[in-house]
Amino acid sequence: MSTLSDATALRRVLLQARQGDRVSFAQLVEHYYPRAMRFALQMLRHREDAEEAVQDTFVRVHDNLARFREDAPFDPWFFRILGNRCRTLLVRRKRHHDIIDYGDVPHDAASVETVDLPSDRFTKDVHRALAELPAEQREAFLLRHVNDMDYEEMIIVTGAKGSTLRMRVKRAIDALRNRLHAPMREGAFHD
């Protein structure tokens, strides 16, 4: 399979997938799955929920690929679908937890099963701090600093205004700095 790291290859595979080519769609899945899973895990903090969100996202992408505008960037469209699935699962989980008393089941980020997270202490602390952020701040931070999206792409993904997204990213960075109890190098996260 060819790499989809350049825009031309991605456009070609998207066009072929839109025309029903299963191999091309499989290439899209293979290319986007790791990023999608990382994003969903960091948003949802539960492997099963993350897998459900990613699977639902690929089904929705497949079902709606014919409606995707060829001249539009694919990443924001894809992550908008994924973000919506994550938010839906967060709401469903909150309602479920409000109804059922789980007793001594731990709800902290340290007890959550994660996948492929680096083992060094600082990275674990960062993931734990990220998990403690409100969902909107976590999503904005992940889109900006993990998925390297610019604010125009983030607007497409979230539907929020640019100023709102900038504030969410700033608050996330401030909260991460405070939670990590160590001043980060100035400029480690910037906007």
Top pLDDT among 4 and 90 is at 90
> Could you tell me the domains of the chain?
1-116 (1.10.1740.10), 117-191 (1.10.10.10)
Tokens of 151: 């604010």
The C-alpha atoms of residue 104 and residue 107 are separated, in whole angstroms, by 9
Calculate mean pLDDT across residues 148-157: 90
Asked if 158 contacts 140 with a C-beta cutoff of 8 angstroms, the reply is yes
Tokens of 8: 């031309």
Q: Provide the residue count of the chain.
A: 191
The C-alpha atoms of residue 161 and residue 108 are separated, in whole angstroms, by 31
Confidence of residue 95 (pLDDT cuts 50, 70, 90): low
- Indicate the range of 21-25, 73-77, 144-148, 179-183 predicted with least confidence: 179-183
Q: C-alpha distances in angstroms, 140 versus 13, 57, 87, 106?
A: 28, 19, 13, 26
What are the pLDDT digits (tens) for 98-152? Answer: 444 444 333 444 434 444 444 577 778 888 888 889 989 999 999 998 888 899 9
Q: Residue 77's pLDDT is what?
A: 94
Q: Residue 106's pLDDT is what?
A: 39
What are the pLDDT digits (tens) for 38-87? Answer: 999 999 988 999 999 999 999 999 999 988 888 888 999 999 999 999 99
